[in-house]
Structure 1
């Protein structure tokens, strides 16, 4: 709208300039050609009457040809201004008003209703799109709905607590509803949805663990708690090299495991290429993906170098992976068992509780005093970090609720203690890369965890096994691959994912070669990044 106000202002200035110029010419003409001097106020009146073709007052008729021509020119100018105003201002304003009016209903069916829109919903949106599941956002902010609509995203405006709004979202033909506003509002949304359709599957996202039971009582079929999962995941990442029980390896049967490994400085394989490290030849472990500076590379080349802070996604026998893990840990920092937690919200609290329960020394830094807070201050303050003995710590977990603050805190920590690992929470996936550039060793976004947990609940034929890791491991059917071998399908080259195992007739098959052919009823276990897994779903499902 700023563009329109500027256009209107400039138009008014131009019209005022025309009036003033004609007024001066009219005064001069009446004095020279009619010998009838006029006041400036009277001249303005005549000019405005002529431009608007409303009349000519007491001066008409004029005797001189020059003055009559001047009046004709003013008349034509007024008509021209009217014709210019219509296409340049009036019509576009009406069109803009119609375009910017947010939709108030949808005709989708078999869709997911998402109340409301937040940036963390983007991961869920992309997962649903990959699975060809329609969805509609319901939000009470008209500007948000207009922006989503302009981006081609289905959305309607309205209060999701009101039954009328849910009817406009076509709740009678929906497959599920996600309540993701806030803990109190979600409870009302659940009640309204169940009042309209008792059989509708309702999933609620809670921030505070204590309210989960209230949401279930209100009628929620599933309650997901992503902040709790995220906090515990960050704690596990910060303690991987301290206690084996915190290592988050995913075991598939008795023979195959999958995990992600952070390469620490001064470790045995840091600085080597994948081929030189002997990961596959000597240890029998397969690298199925890697994050280099926060960018996922599926099927990395043997000559790619494993630098400090590279994250490898590997699969193999559990004993082999345990051996490889030992070679990724820096001996210089292995003895440290102190962890600093910056931020004591729900994420930070869960991280601190898991650390404490594992016997790990934990120092909590928060801006406000309270139970569980060890140091009051900002984790972006150098003096506060020095008081927390950051240089003698194993890692710093940044569980802050603002990505900008988290990025700045990462820079401060790395300036003071370059060898200390930074394990960071991000709210939006677009800031993950920035945190890696700032020096963080491991980043996990709340939007990623939330989206994966919701997807696993909403999609019957897809189960996400790792909502709390940077890689995604799913169990899914693949009707598009039935009757085709893995070699023929060329899944890794086409999607960047790796088929780790297959479930067939209650049996887990882990030794899958290129000749393995997918049968009707098979369930595949597939690993990759969020983006590559979505490509696999679109390709195979």
Structure 2
């Protein structure tokens, strides 16, 4: 009862509800006026027919007739009285059965329900929350990040402005807070000063306001943001952004670096101190068609093949693993070792019939970033874009539909070694991948994926490599959160540190069978100030060593469970 009274009090205090209350009072005044008028007329008409009733009886008759209950215990006998009864009944249908319920729902029940919903939507985080990540935008990419943060035990909270959106997210079990993005009080309720990071993925103008507002109450909390436009980078930095990225530009660079072009050199995708991790495509290289044992890579170069990508799936290799056209090697080694690998591979000249320009399908921000990166590498390209671009005088940009065979032939699809599909629509990317694979079964196809759930579909459609925007975004954020403990290389592939378990100490690595039991591979051992890269199987682990391993998120979990630190 106390709760109901408090809710009604809050309801009446709101500005809009005060106006609604005045309208409701006016309606009730009109309704009661009808009750009084009909009661008085009832007495006059009954007296006209020679009947006598009390005033209570008159009010009773009025209410029963207007509500259409009509018990029939009191009736008129004259036509005038019955006509009066019809008028009272019709007015009751309009006022009591239509207008009154509508007025009640519109002016009282609906606002009361809205206040109830507002009370359900969280407006602050618990006082004990700290080292959490605040997200100011919610979409599929954000939800992917939240899922990854949960896997690593990092709390997150999503700030939204819409009540219904907040309720929907709250009901799914997500931490959400309802508040205005440009209100400093909102961020105080989010405990922004105790947060590990704020991730701002709104539009550039809105992001500037959000960051500037955050800096009003928290000047030390790291703020990570995305700049859609090149011109916005400096402005976002001036507003107070700690790290400003252009994720679409970064995605284009990542796609371009994986092109099979003038050489098969290793492409460095991450580093852990002096340990470098690189990817190298095997298509048209001297390695294609061999097993790892036959390649003798470790013997000849010193690099260790710590994994392979095969149709988007990461696998731990063994000596008999076959290297195919779609295989991408994941290499670990020092800079000198990778240079030796590059020298061994040398310049892999493409066949004459497949030495044409790289075909880029889509001339948006990602597509133009791909083109710029290819140009910097000295790789010729052709961009196919349906819409008219500003720099149409560039002969390397072809206007037309990528589904038009004549346009693709003009772009050089019959001679190209690689096709990069960069549109933001996954459905279109799948469509183009199937089409291009049918036209060129032997070409390298690299595709962009906006949603992680479409990665496997794109691989099945024929893409050799698929890069996800959400994976790139998530990887960047997690690496910033754990710079000394974790390095995410790509979707599902991590490098992590671990203290040696007592079960490992004092024994050579070959006896542990860590790779077989957990799915992880030890790629380095830090021993004091020395880093042992790609340790030999006979290496004995000591108590003070620090292990550096590579594996998927599940493999990391398996290792922690089976080999807990002392």
- TM-score over 0.5 (shorter chain): yes
CA distance in 1, matches of 2:217, 2:320: 60
* 1:66-77 map, 5 Å: none
Q: Does 1:242 align with 2:265?
A: no
Per-residue deviation, 1:141: 4.4
Could you tell me whether the CA contact under 8 Å between 2:475 and 2:488 is conserved in 1? no
Per-residue deviation, 1:462: 3.2
Gap change, CA 1:400 and 1:532, over 3 Å in 2: farther
Could you tell me whether the CA contact under 8 Å between 2:288 and 2:325 is conserved in 1? no
Secondary structure in structure 1 of the residue aligned to 2:140: coil
CA distance in 2, matches of 1:348, 1:132: 36
Could you tell me whether the CA contact under 8 Å between 1:427 and 1:447 is conserved in 2? yes
* 1:24-423 map, 5 Å: 56-58=71-73, 102-107=121-126, 108-142=129-163, 144-239=165-260, 241-243=261-263, 247-248=267-268, 258-264=277-283, 269-270=288-289, 274-275=292-293, 286-297=304-315, 299-315=316-332, 317-318=337-338, 321-322=341-342, 325=345, 332=351, 336-366=355-385, 367-371=387-391, 374-423=397-446
Gap change, CA 1:154 and 1:325, over 3 Å in 2: farther
Q: Which runs of 5+ in 2 are unaligned?
A: 1-63, 76-108
Secondary structure in structure 1 of the residue aligned to 2:215: helix
CA distance in 2, matches of 1:335, 1:179: 44
CA distance in 2, matches of 1:57, 1:276: 104
Q: Which runs of 5+ in 1 are unaligned?
A: 1-48, 61-89
Please give the root-mean-square deviation of Cα atoms over the aligned residues, in Å.
Answer: 4.2
The residue aligned with 1:78 is none
Larger Rg: 2
Gap change, CA 1:386 and 1:363, over 3 Å in 2: same
The residue aligned with 2:481 is 458
Could you tell me whether the CA contact under 8 Å between 1:429 and 1:445 is conserved in 2? yes
Deviations 1:307-339, CA, capped at 9 Å, x for gaps: 431333234543663377569x79547961511
Q: Which has the higher contact order (CA 8 A, sep 6+)?
A: 1
Gap change, CA 1:145 and 1:379, over 3 Å in 2: farther
Per-residue deviation, 1:137: 1.4
Could you tell me whether the CA contact under 8 Å between 2:498 and 2:548 is conserved in 1? no
The residue aligned with 1:81 is none
CA distance in 2, matches of 1:117, 1:277: 47
Per-residue deviation, 1:442: 0.9
**Between 103-112 and 310-319, the greater mean CA deviation after superposition:** 310-319
Per-residue deviation, 1:268: 5.1
Q: How many residues are matched?
A: 454
Could you tell me whether the CA contact under 8 Å between 1:226 and 1:453 is conserved in 2? no
Gap change, CA 1:438 and 1:450, over 3 Å in 2: same
Deviations 1:155-191, CA, capped at 9 Å, x for gaps: 2233333323323323243232111122221111111
Could you tell me whether the CA contact under 8 Å between 1:202 and 1:221 is conserved in 2? yes
CA distance in 2, matches of 1:323, 1:334: 25
The residue aligned with 1:17 is none
Per-residue deviation, 1:369: 2.5
Could you tell me whether the CA contact under 8 Å between 2:264 and 2:285 is conserved in 1? no
CA distance in 1, matches of 2:242, 2:132: 17
Secondary structure in structure 2 of the residue aligned to 1:356: helix
Per-residue deviation, 1:209: 2.9
The residue aligned with 1:478 is 498
Could you tell me whether the CA contact under 8 Å between 1:429 and 1:447 is conserved in 2? yes
Per-residue deviation, 1:280: 5.9
Gap change, CA 1:406 and 1:458, over 3 Å in 2: same
Gap change, CA 1:194 and 1:349, over 3 Å in 2: same
Secondary structure in structure 2 of the residue aligned to 1:341: strand
Gap change, CA 1:538 and 1:165, over 3 Å in 2: farther
Per-residue deviation, 1:352: 0.9
CA distance in 2, matches of 1:100, 1:311: 53
